[in-house]
Structure 1
Amino acid sequence: MRHGRLRYLLGAAFHGLAWTEWGPEGGAPVVCLHGLTRNGRDFDTLAEALAGQGRRVFCPDLPGRGASDWLPDPRLYVPPSYVVALGHLLARLEGPVDWVGTSLGGICGMLLAAAPGTPIRRLVLNDIGSHVPAAAAARIAAYVREDPRFEDLAGLEAHLRQVHAPFGALTDAQWRHMAETSARRLPEGGIASHHDPAIAVPFAAAAEGPIELGMVWDRVAVPTLVLRGAESDVLEAGVAARMAARPGVALREFAGVGHAPALQAADQIAAVAGFLAA
């Protein structure tokens, strides 16, 4: 695993976008992008597997998450801003790239894949689609508005186990890894999650009703694999089925999982790796 960083211009200032990178530098690139409150280290297991197949894997931290810079104005924490930052990374790669996006990472992937001249060759949408129900958006907004503090890593891990229980049956080691890569040490002592609490501000406004992404999805023409947790409240079964009815779109559902598959189980990794290898 290597670490990378670039500067991107957003508004009137430059900011830093960080990522972890896996695999040979000459490998065909894959970008794996995380969900709303997460970071690129969520993909360590998947990235290691893809790197073992010769792929060069980039796992960015979205602005305000992980090792990337926080933004000065909470109103900037919206997908168009993220696409600006990610566009700088894609420009550096200068060629076709595959995209794996979980939840918000999938929304960013759809926006980029829908753009004329997109460099995205194949797209994996992990439990996100053309419509997010209002109830699901409100559920996510409720825990994103929280900004809990913890005495130690065990407290953060217990919190992650609770709010991300829909990820599925992760092992103790996987939960601990998530906590270790999500921790932010506070100057006054204690631990918080490694994201800017201000990301909740624009999301709360967006979550006042259903999130409609159909106009974006309609412009996506690249081969797409839609992954769905069988118990997901974010990607409803009917929405996923309608998406999969389109030529060039495949659907894979995982039992015992909600929003969203963690992409750490062997069958989930095999589904992604097989699709990207085509």
Structure 2
Amino acid sequence: MATMTEHTLRGLSALGFHRLAYTQWLPAGRGGTRTIVCCHGLTRNGRDFDVLAADLADSLGARVVCPDVVGRGRSGTLANPDLYGYPQYLADMAALIARLDVETVQWVGTSMGGLIGMMLAAQADTPITRLVVNDVGPFVPKAALDRIGTYVGTNPVFHSVGEVKRYLSALYAPFGDLTDGQWQHLADHGYWTRPDGTLGLAYDTGIARAFQTNPITDVDLWPVWSMIRCPVLAIRGLQSDLLTAEIAQAMTERGPKATLFGVADAGHAPALMDPAQLAAVRDFLR
């Protein structure tokens, strides 16, 4: 069975260095024959991919790396929350790829992690050879961003992991029909302990600054999409308000002309823990 280890490196912002944490999964008894990076959504962290990472390491013999984007999980925070944004995230992921010492990677990204993957894949001489975008595309509707803005950065206080679990299972019900154990896993890795002993969600509330200081509008990245040359798999929760059916269909017709995989019991965004979802990613990356 695959084994997981935890690692860190340093990223650099305009105000200095910050810690970046990641987990690395390796197939039993050997190094990976390829490297896959799995990058999470806005308020989540790399441990969301434990099930997928173990599966890909075992089935494909891959090294699978799951970073915590700065401000989330075990990674450090930024002194100035205005610096949270895609320029910083892209620079940090470039530093991660350099640390991994590989010429190419395959990329799996959920929501924000998918946008990071798209932006990296669109660059000249990109190291990304295959891209999976989970419930996100080159057009993000204002209505979906308005919904996300109602909860990101609200900073709820919890007194037990059980309370965290109940909160996450309600807020992220669109992840799909997860088992009790899967919700427990998300809760176990989804909180930070505050100095007073209470619990908070495992992300810096400063990541919400963009939602609080700028008018929320549609995000149009079709020019970025048109620059991607590698094969793309687009996964869509069929109840998603962020990746609509119209946008998903257009993704199969424009730019890299993605292959589309729908998840019936999910919205934004499928958790990539169900066997059918695992198989879709595995077969595409194979």
Question: Which TM-score bucket, shorter chain as reference?
Answer: over 0.9
Sequence identity percentage: 46
Q: 1:48 to 1:182 in 2, by over 3 A?
A: same
SS at match of 1:136: helix
- Cα separation, 2, equivalents of 1:86 and 1:19: 11
The residue that corresponds to 2:272 in the other structure is: 263
Assess if the C-alpha contact under 8 Å between 2:175 and 2:269 holds in 1.
yes
Instruction: Find the aligned partners of 1:26 and 1:238 in 2 and give their Cα distance.
Output: 38
**Where in structure 2 are there 5+ consecutive unaligned residues?**
none
The residue that corresponds to 1:77 in the other structure is 84
**What SS does structure 1 have at the residue aligned with 2:151?**
helix
- Residues 127-178 of structure 1: CA deviation (Å, up to 9, x unaligned): 0001111111000011103110001111111110111010011000000110
Question: Are 1:193 and 2:230 counterparts?
Answer: no
Q: Indicate which of 250, 253, 278 corresponds to 2:259.
A: 250
Residue pair 2:32, 2:57 contacting (<8 A) in 1 also: no
- 1:177 counterpart residue number: 185
Is this contact kept in 1: 2:140–2:242, CA < 8 A?
A: yes
Instruction: Give the root-mean-square deviation of aligned CA atoms.
Output: 1.2
Q: 1:245 to 1:31 in 2, by over 3 A?
A: same
Q: 2 CA distance for matches of 1:145 and 1:9?
A: 23
What amino acid does structure 2 have at the position aligned with 1:258?
G
Q: 1:249: how far off? A: 1.7
> Contact (CA 8 Å) 1:222, 1:248: kept in 2 or not?
no
Structure 1 equivalent of residue 172 of structure 2: 164
Instruction: Give TM-score scaled by structure 1 length.
Output: 0.97
Q: Which amino acid is 1:47 matched to? A: A
Spell out, residue by residue over 1:85-117, the C-alpha distance to the aligned partner (whole angstroms, 9 max, x if none).
110011223311000000000010011001100
Aligned pair partner of 2:97 in 76, 90, 100: 90
In structure 1, distance between residues paired with 2:94 and 2:274: 30
Structure 2 distance, partners of 1:175, 1:206, is 33
Q: How many residues align?
A: 277
SS in 2 for 1:174: helix
Provide the residue aligned with 1:273 in structure 2: 282
Instruction: Report what 2:227 is aligned to.
Output: 219
CA contact (8 A) 2:106 2:129 kept: yes
Are 2:44 and 1:38 equivalent residues in the alignment? Answer: yes
Q: Which runs of 4+ in 1 moved over 6 A?
A: none
Query: Cα offset for 1:254?
Result: 0.8
Cα distance in 2 for residues equivalent to 1:12 and 1:160: 33
Deviation per CA, 1:195-221: give whole Å up to 9, x if none.
101101113446611122112111111
Does the 8 Å CA contact 1:141/1:207 hold for their aligned counterparts?
no
1:49 Cα offset (Å): 0.1
**In the alignment, is residue 115 of structure 1 matched against residue 123 of structure 2?**
yes
Which of the numbers 14, 29, 37 marks the counterpart of 1:11?
A: 14
Shift of 1:185: 0.8
Cα deviation for residue 125 of structure 1 reads 0.4
Displacement of 1:264 in angstroms is 0.2
Residue number in structure 2 paired with 1:64: 71
1:46 counterpart SS class: helix
Q: Which moved more, 1:198-207 or 1:235-244?
A: 198-207
Amino acid in structure 2 at the alignment position of 1:8: G
Are residues 238 and 248 of structure 1, via their aligned partners in 2, closer, same or farther at CA, if it must alter by over 3 Å?
closer
Cα shift at 1:248 = 4.7
Contact 2:15 2:79 in 1 (8 A): no
Secondary structure at 2:74 match in 1? coil
**CA–CA distance in 2 between the matches of 1:261 and 1:75?**
29
